[in-house]
A and B are shown apart, each in its own frame.
Chain A
């Protein structure tokens, strides 16, 4: 089974779960007599979603084009060349950034994030990394704070 069919299967599960939530939705007493309810459209959508997911699952395999690309611009034959490790490490870094942003402040977390991700990508010139990350973090913080007027806590919790 191809990746797209697995995804369709996931959508089928989501549609069914969503449909369950929609069909068993607790209507308020006065809503029962209304012709349009909070779960009217969700019920329609869940049926449509499940139907389409099934259609994708049972439909025939897509035909490969001249380059052998079955799926869009992804070259499945070259899948081994894809750098999944780096991508996963970057996703991990983004999650860390999300968690760290509030406690350790915008400037420190951003600097660490930019330096860390460029290190993951293979950059080893520490001084250039440092300059780019610190100046980038500071400029963006300044623009967001001053030009857009949105407060971002710049410093860690123990300093502010």
Chain B
């Protein structure tokens, strides 16, 4: 491991990579702060830039910097204007915004920064310990297990989609898989399902799809519903960033617990920073006693520290399945996976053997990124917060323009822009009807790999007998099926039980 750390230090400490971490964190913070723009759209916009850098380690360093910068920026807007830019920081606003209204905005921002830093750092240490171990287990996997593992990943993402949405999430996954079959693939001799269109010969472009699914709908949303982007009283001065020693003592155990819990939740596919932060908040409220419990929701520093530590630890945790298994657990890591594939890196257990520099450089850069966020943002927050006052009449045109340029420079093809707009409008309508979009992208990205591994396993055994003859494959597939059916069954049973009771409405 020491060898790896040294290798990572060597890579990450190059001037270019340090500059990329700093740039990524700054861009992430700035855009993540804008209400309505989540990490997925920011990363989608940054992908063309990352891909043209050419070096996979540097690209991933930049994108992961953007990722945790965005989570950090999201907490700033949650605290200052009660408008979370990111779903993972909604829980932050429960106690952060009341603190800001009591005039303790500076203190709230400092606590958020410290908790984020601690959560992120604990997450990276755990990632360093977990990933190599998991990766050595994963090396035993054959194509049959890989196929099963991807099925588990896809069904876990659908299962965590929320009550009543499992069928929709599965539907979106299947749509993603269907879109992945369009065009040429590595296995076969002719392009498939192009409907005779030359532009679909090489399939849908991943960058275009990512933009169309996340960046465009969010921008259109800001247009449709102006209240969503309203910034209220962000212009207020922020002063007194200090935190007392007693306060630090009070939040230290909270941060410790929530970093660990957040990381473990982040590792699970489908459950990311959002679930981690809500769960962290709920757990801490239940643990707290008497007076402290009453304070939750009215500006409790514990209630602020818990989701902040949890969401940053979960962000780091979500890198574990990405780097060790090549399976993204969330929409954001799916986008990172797509970027890696575009750069000819095959994420998975062999990543640590084939491209150790990518793996370790990313881990070391996460340490650096955490420090950068703390050092850079703490003194700069009052100035950065001014960004919240940019009028939306200028913001939205530029967001639209960035998504279009991003899709265009990836392919240098104007038809790509028409596809982008078409898919973007479709995605907006899907969001209107509450169809989750992340499963679509994850299905699209995993589709090619899923088919490759499935084909290899079928060819080796000349049939689908591998599904029940290989114990590990069977076990994984059973888990995948259970993940979908157990929550559905329990919900149906709960509804059946409720029928005996008079319904409120």
Using CB atoms and an 8 Å cutoff, list the residues of chain A in contact with chain B: 2-4, 6-8, 11, 14-15, 18, 21-22, 25, 28, 34-36, 38-42, 45-46, 48-49, 52-53, 55-56, 59, 62-63, 71-72, 74, 78, 81-84, 86-87, 90-91, 94-95, 97-99, 101-102, 110, 113-114, 117-118, 121-123, 132-133, 136, 140, 144, 148-152
The answer to whether B458 and A95 have CB atoms under 8 Å apart is: no
| A18, B181: Cα distance in complex, Å | 11
With both chains docked as a complex, state the minimum distance between the C-beta of B140 and any C-beta of chain A, in angstroms: 23
Interface pair B193/A113, CB less than 8 Å apart: no
Cα(A152)–Cα(B401), bound, Å = 14
Assess the B193–A42 pair: CB atoms within 8 A.
yes
- Per-residue contact bits, chain B 340-377, to A (CB 8 Å; 1 contact, 0 not): 00000000000000000000000000000000000000
- Chain B residues, Cβ within 8 Å of A22: 193
A56 contacts B414, C-beta separation under 8 Å? no
Give the contacting residue for B433; candidates A7, A63, A123, A132; CB below 8 A. Answer: A7
Q: Are B220 and A98 in contact (CB under 8 A)?
A: no
| Smallest Cβ-Cβ distance to B225: which chain A residue | A82
- B168 in contact (CB, < 8 A): yes
A4 touches B417 (CB 8 A): no
CA gap between A144 and B190 in the complex, in Å = 34
Q: Are B412 and A59 in touch, CB under 8 angstroms?
A: no
Contact between chains at B409 and A118 (CB < 8 Å): no
A42-B193, A81-B225 known; A98-B454 Cβ under 8 A: no
Interchain Cβ contacts under 8 Å between A and B, 21 examples: A2-B433, A7-B435, A36-B458, A40-B458, A41-B451, A42-B178, A42-B193, A49-B171, A49-B178, A52-B174, A56-B168, A87-B223, A94-B417, A95-B421, A97-B417, A114-B401, A117-B397, A123-B393, A148-B48, A151-B412, A152-B409
Chain B residues 34 to 69 lying within 8 A of chain A, measured CB to CB, are: 48-49, 52
Number of interface residues of B (CB under 8 A): 60
Known: A98-B414, A122-B393. A87 touches B224 (CB 8 A): yes
- Once the chains bind, are B167 and A72 in contact (CB under 8 Å)? no
**Given pairs A15-B174, A121-B393, A148-B52, 20 additional interface contacts (CB within 8 A):** A2-B433, A3-B432, A3-B433, A7-B433, A7-B435, A22-B193, A25-B192, A35-B463, A36-B187, A36-B455, A38-B188, A42-B178, A42-B192, A48-B174, A59-B167, A62-B164, A72-B431, A97-B417, A101-B408, A110-B405
Q: A53 to chain B: which residues have CB within 8 Å? A: 171
Q: Does B434 contact A (CB under 8 A)?
A: yes
| Residue in A closest to B433 when the chains form the complex, CB atoms | A4
- Give the complex CA separation of A55 and B169 in angstroms: 12
On whether the beta carbons of A82 and B224 are closer than 8 Å, the reply is yes
A110 touches B401 (CB 8 A): yes
Task: Label chain B's interface by main secondary structure.
Answer: helix
Tell me the complex Cα distance, A114–B398, Å.
Answer: 7
Inter-chain CA distance A159–B253, complex, in Å, is 67
Given A28-B190, A42-B181, A52-B170, A90:B400 Cβ within 8 A: yes
User: Contact partner of A52 among B171, B220, B392, CB < 8 A?
Assistant: B171
Indicate whether A35 sits within 8 Å of B397 (C-beta atoms), given known contacts A7-B433, A82-B224, A101-B417.
no
Nearest 8 pairs of A and B residues by beta carbon: A98-B417, A4-B433, A72-B434, A123-B393, A117-B397, A71-B434, A36-B455, A38-B188
Q: Are A4 and B421 in contact (CB under 8 A)?
A: no
How far is A90 from B401 in the complex, measured between Cα atoms in Å?
Answer: 11
Does A113 lie within 8 Å of B52, measured CB to CB?
Answer: no
Residues of B with C-beta under 8 A to A98: 404, 414, 417-418, 420-421
Q: Is B405 a contact of A140 with CB atoms below 8 Å?
A: yes
Main SS class of interface, A: helix
Residues on B with beta carbons closer than 8 Å to the beta carbon of A102:
414
A118 x B167 contact (CB < 8 A): no
Given contacts A18-B178, A99-B414, A121-B392, contact A86 B431 (CB under 8 A): no
A49 to B171, CA, bound (A): 6
Q: How far is the CA of A112 from the CA of B226 in the complex (A)?
A: 23
A86 touches B223 (CB 8 A): yes
Q: Is the CB of B429 within 8 A of A83?
A: no
| Residues of chain B with a CB closer than 8 A to A117's CB | 396-397, 400
Q: Which residues of A contact B305 (CB under 8 A)?
A: none
Query: How many angstroms from the CA of A114 to the CA of B450 in the assembled complex?
Result: 41
A38 to B451, CA, bound (A): 10
* Inter-subunit contact A87/B220 (CB<8 Å): yes
Q: Collect the chain B residues with CB atoms within 8 Å of residue A46's CB.
A: 178
A52 to B435, CA, bound (A): 13
Name the residue of chain B whose CB is nearest to the CB of A46. B178
Enumerate chain A residues within 8 angstroms of B164, measured Cβ to Cβ: 62-63
Q: Is B238 an interface residue (CB 8 A)?
A: no
Among residues of B, the one whose C-beta sits closest to the C-beta of A101 is B414
List the A side residues contacting B225 at CB < 8 Å. 78, 81-83
Proximity string of chain B (454-497) to chain A, C-beta cutoff 8 Å, 1 when within and 0 when not: 11001100110000000000000000000000000000000000
Q: Determine the chain B residues whose CB is within 8 A of the CB of A48 once the complex forms.
A: 174
With a 10 A CB-CB cut-off, give which of A40, A90, A136 has the most chain B CB atoms: A90
How distant is the Cα of A136 from the Cα of B455 in the complex, in angstroms? 48
Given A56-B168, A140-B405, A38-B187 contact (CB < 8 Å): yes
- CB closest chain-B residue, reference A37: B188
User: Which residues between 178 and 203 of chain B lie within 8 Å of chain A, taking CB atoms?
Assistant: 178, 181, 185, 187-190, 192-193
